Chain A
Amino acid sequence: MLKYTTRRLMFAIPTLIVISFVLYVLLDLAPSDPTGNLPLTIPPEVREKIRDQLGVNDPIHVGYLKWMRQFFINEPLHIFEQATGLSIGDSSERVRVVSFTTRSPVVDLILDRLPQTLWVVGLSYVVGILIALPIGVISAYKQYSWFDQIGTFVSMVGFSVPTFFTGLLLIILFSSTLGWLPSIYDTTLRVTDFSSFWQQVKQMIMPVTVLAFYNAAQLSRFMRASVLENLNQDYVRTARAKGMKDRAILVGHILRNSMLPVVTMIALGVPTIFSGAIITEQIFRVNGLGHLLIHAIQNGDIYLIQSLTFIFAVLIVLFNLIADLLYGVLDPRIKYT
């Protein structure tokens, strides 16, 4: 197991370097332009000068190597210096990865956004799982019952109606009509006492609901399928024949086995929390990572997109490994060597 893990981790490094290079090429070829949002009264020659200054017109390999050095050498050194207070070499000359639109270090921007994303998107993921699992299990256990039919209907509607629509519906209902909940997420809010805590809860309700509904819809379908699959396995029949109670079989055998694929799915979904939820964050103006990414894309902010997607790629590779290891733990028949 340990050997397997180290081998996988070793293999991950070249994979990630290739990914980062392809990402960069892709971004460099993409037609978006950091001066695209400037007023049209700014003449084209001035725009060209700004692009030159930003380094957009650098050849691909120059830009990529610049990013590599900034991201893999300068940033870690900076973090090290911040943490220890020591200074290595000439730290004032060292250029960190800087975003085009804000001219500020990309890592600071990301750290600024991380808490909101973890809270809102992460919580909705947890809520989604907590809703989906029982619904999936009961739906499968009582296949074609009332509960199952409604569950199927609701989750299919949940999946087929896009979040831009559910979000809008909730805003119109709870903000415009009833006036109960704020439609705009206040990122300056500090939780200090009960009333500000309540304020925070109120502004999280809608985005979390929208996302949880969407996540739960998908996951509950997989859970249901997985339990159904196991319900008819021979071991269930054997257990029944031995006189085990249905409930005991369900909890003791079926659940454990049917959790296998679902657990990997959940683990694989974790990186998407960090990528944020672009549309939902946009609708409720939650300043999470998804919001940052879409802003960067709209403004052709190559280094910011590159850094964000690269971190995302690292998480994907990491959680894929975790999912595989989990799988080995949950199913002793699978051996990793």
Chain B
Amino acid sequence: MALKGQQAQYQQALLNAQEHPSPWMIVWIALRNHKGALVGAGVFGFITFAVLVGPLFYPYDPAAIDLTVRNQGMSWVHWFGTDNLGRDTLARILSGGRVALSVGFTAMVLSLVLGTAIGLLAGYYKRLDGPLMRFTDFFLALPLLPLLLVIIVFFRDTLSSTFGQNMGIFLLVVVIIGITSWMQIARIVRSETLALKEREFVKAAVSVGTSGRHIVINHILPNILSPIMVSATLGIANAIITESTLSFLGLGFPSDFPTWGRLLFDGSNYIQINVERVIWPGLAISLTVLSINYMGDALRDAIDPRVRNK
């Protein structure tokens, strides 16, 4: 029932919009009427807003130590409690969120671009398939930890002196996560492309002399958006978690620079003493991933005309 109502609304909105709406307009209208998208965007917007603006209003500094209030539970003074040095958990989550979100997004975009490009090229151009896929195999086979250690040894000081300590580490972390997580996306994109290449509409496009680039961008890419969307949402979660592993190993951000993954990791020893320390960062990561997932779902539905008009 609800779906029907939604459809009606959507048709109405289309009528109201204009005589011949552009394709992106249609997508936008579909998105606006998609409940999942609204909820997802709402939650995600709230988290982003809180993370960006929250620290301006919340009175505690994430690094301020107050030994008189160690391991406190939730209270009106410290909303989300404090850790074992009396640092305010909410303040740390807010500041950690900035890092987590920016690392998650940038790394995800990097791996998505790399993975999609390589997958499309390998799937569509037969010549490139062998070399590119062996290249992918190669990256899959690389052991992550030694790779990280080597990268850190060679690039940390250079990057830190060029971009400053924190920006340097940020770039390092993003690149490390990006270049070690694109392979799966590439494999999926390639196999989908292989299948699409044999489909009638692509063959038709080829037969009328459409250029390869045009086919890839306008015909194949839109049709493989759904696995890409799934990869993207999983990619963000993956990046946030990988970042926590890096910090834990001493390869990521310095210890006085909280991130969600690291807060969760540090808090896990305290789970029986102070649950707040794991609940909040865990919830923050989960909610972010969940809301991005809903938005991704909605975007896919909105782009696909068959779903949209069902």
Contact = CB atoms under 8 A, between A and B. Distances in A.
Interface of A: 11, 15, 18-19, 22-23, 26-27, 29-32, 144, 152-153, 156-157, 159-162, 164-165, 168-169, 172, 218, 221-222, 225-226, 228-229, 232-233, 260-261, 264-265, 268, 271, 293-294, 297, 305, 309, 312-313, 316-317, 320, 323, 327, 331, 333-334
Interface in B150-192: 150, 153-154, 184, 187-188, 191-192
Contacts of A271: 140
A29 B304 contact: no
B142 interface: yes
A297 B145 contact: yes
A164 B265 contact: yes
Interface residues of B, number: 59
B272 A172 contact: yes
B229 A225 contact: yes
Contacts of A268: 184, 187
A317 B191 contact: no
A228 B226 contact: yes
A168 B133 CA distance: 38
A115 B91 CA distance: 47
26 contacts: A15-B138, A19-B141, A26-B142, A26-B143, A30-B150, A31-B150, A31-B153, A156-B237, A156-B286, A156-B293, A157-B290, A159-B234, A159-B289, A161-B286, A162-B264, A168-B271, A225-B230, A225-B300, A228-B226, A265-B188, A309-B143, A313-B141, A317-B137, A317-B141, A320-B187, A323-B187
Interface string B265-287: 10010011000001000100110
B194 interface: yes
Nearest to B307: A232
A164 B304 CA distance: 38
Contact of A264 (B150, B191, B300, B304): B191
B38 to A, nearest CB: 13
A225 B307 CA distance: 13
Given A225-B230, A261-B191, A327-B191, A316 B146 contact: no
A36 to B, nearest CB: 12
Interface in B239-261: 240-241, 244-245, 261
A197 to B, nearest CB: 32
Contacts of B304: 232
B134 interface: yes
Pairs A-B, 10 closest by C-beta atoms:
A313-B141, A232-B306, A333-B198, A160-B289, A160-B237, A30-B146, A30-B149, A156-B290, A309-B143, A225-B226
Contacts of B306: 232-233
B307 A159 contact: no
Contact of A165 (B147, B268, B289): B268
B36 interface: yes
B134 A11 contact: yes
B36 A260 contact: no
A4 B239 CA distance: 37
B227 A226 contact: yes
B192 A161 contact: no
Best-buried of B36, B147, B149 by chain A (most CB within 10 Å): B149
A333 B195 contact: yes
A232 B223 CA distance: 12
Contact of A29 (B138, B153, B240, B300): B153
B4 interface: no
Interface string B176-216: 00000000100110011011001000000000000000000
Contacts of A221: 230, 233-234, 293
A309 B141 contact: yes
A232 B310 contact: yes
A268 B306 CA distance: 31
A153 to B, nearest CB: 7
Contacts of B286: 156-157, 160-161
A269 B134 CA distance: 17
A7 B264 CA distance: 48
Contacts of B194: 327, 334
Given A153-B290, A159-B289, A161-B285, A313 B137 contact: yes
Contacts of A172: 271-272
Contacts of A320: 133, 136-137, 187
Contact of B141 (A23, A331, A334): A23
Given A165-B278, A305-B143, A320-B133, 17 more contacts: A15-B134, A19-B137, A29-B153, A30-B149, A30-B150, A31-B153, A153-B290, A156-B237, A160-B241, A162-B241, A165-B268, A169-B271, A226-B226, A268-B187, A293-B143, A297-B146, A313-B137
A221 B138 CA distance: 26
Contact of B140 (A225, A316, A334): A316
B270 to A, nearest CB: 11
Contacts of B268: 164-165, 168
Nearest to B306: A232
Nearest to A165: B268
Contacts of A156: 233, 237, 286, 289-290, 293
Contacts of B241: 160, 162
Contacts of B261: 162
A323 B194 CA distance: 13
B222 interface: no
B42 interface: no
Best-buried of A164, A168, A271, A312 by chain B (most CB within 10 Å): A164
A208 B161 CA distance: 45
B130 interface: yes
Contact of B150 (A26, A152, A294): A26
A293 B187 CA distance: 26
Contact of A222 (B3, B146, B230): B230
